[in-house]
Amino acid sequence: MARAGRKRKAGGRTKAGRLIASPRPRADQGTAELRLHRARRAGALDPTTARLWQKGSAEEAVNAMSGGDHGQAVDAVGRAWLAGLLVHPARSGEAMRDAGRVLFKLYWAHYAELAPSGGLYRELAGRGVVRASVAGNIERAIQLEGALNRRLAILDDCGRDVRKAVESLCVDHHFEFGPAWLDRLIAARRERRSASEEDGRRMRDAVLGLAALT
């Protein structure tokens, strides 16, 4: 008796018979107040935006906000990038930011049962920064684990302090704020004052590790 073939996937198709991909739902950017708070955590707001916000016109302030994609402030490495802290002589800030997010994605795909929950994590998932668990797909899980272990080995070769700094910036659950050392660096830059040598060293270690991952 002949075996049944693979079931045809449901959904609309092109004239050539190819399945039409479903459009990805747009991520909710949050209220105007939330977007302004995120932008401020990544650095100073321009004077026009700050004045409008102080007057209670949050929507107008968001529309007037200039410079950068402040939706990137949803995670720590995004805030570091917006603040101009991901600086390396041979690597772009965007490439290092994205390398940090790939590490985050691989780490939490592997340790899915420990993954954070809540709206911000769902937003990261909606933006494609992190994907759902691969439980049940053994081959895919092995591939992701291998990719994660290769990156962790690179960080280990850079030294213990480098790995700790990268994990603090990219893997730990610092969505709306934190780690504390990054918040202090951004505040120092916003207030045009010197940051502590210890905080600066952690940022340099993180940049060294992210550059090695690109």
Amino acid letter for position 207:
V
SS3 per-residue string spanning 74-133 = HCHHHHHHHCCCCCCCCCCHHHHHHHHHHHHHHHHHHCHHHCCCCHHHHHHHHCCCCCCC
Q: What is the DSSP letter of 16?
A: T
Burial label, 209 (beta-carbon count in 10 A; 0-12, 13-18, 19+): buried
Higher pLDDT, 100 or 27: 100
Q: How confident is the model at residue 59 (pLDDT cuts 50, 70, 90)?
A: confident
56: pLDDT confidence band, cut at 50, 70 and 90? confident
- What is residue 13's three-state secondary structure? strand
Bridge partners (DSSP) of residue 19 are: 13
**Pairwise CA distance, residues 23 & 59, whole Å:** 28
pLDDT of residue 20: 65
pLDDT at residue 119, as a whole number: 47
Q: What's the confidence (pLDDT) of residue 201?
A: 98
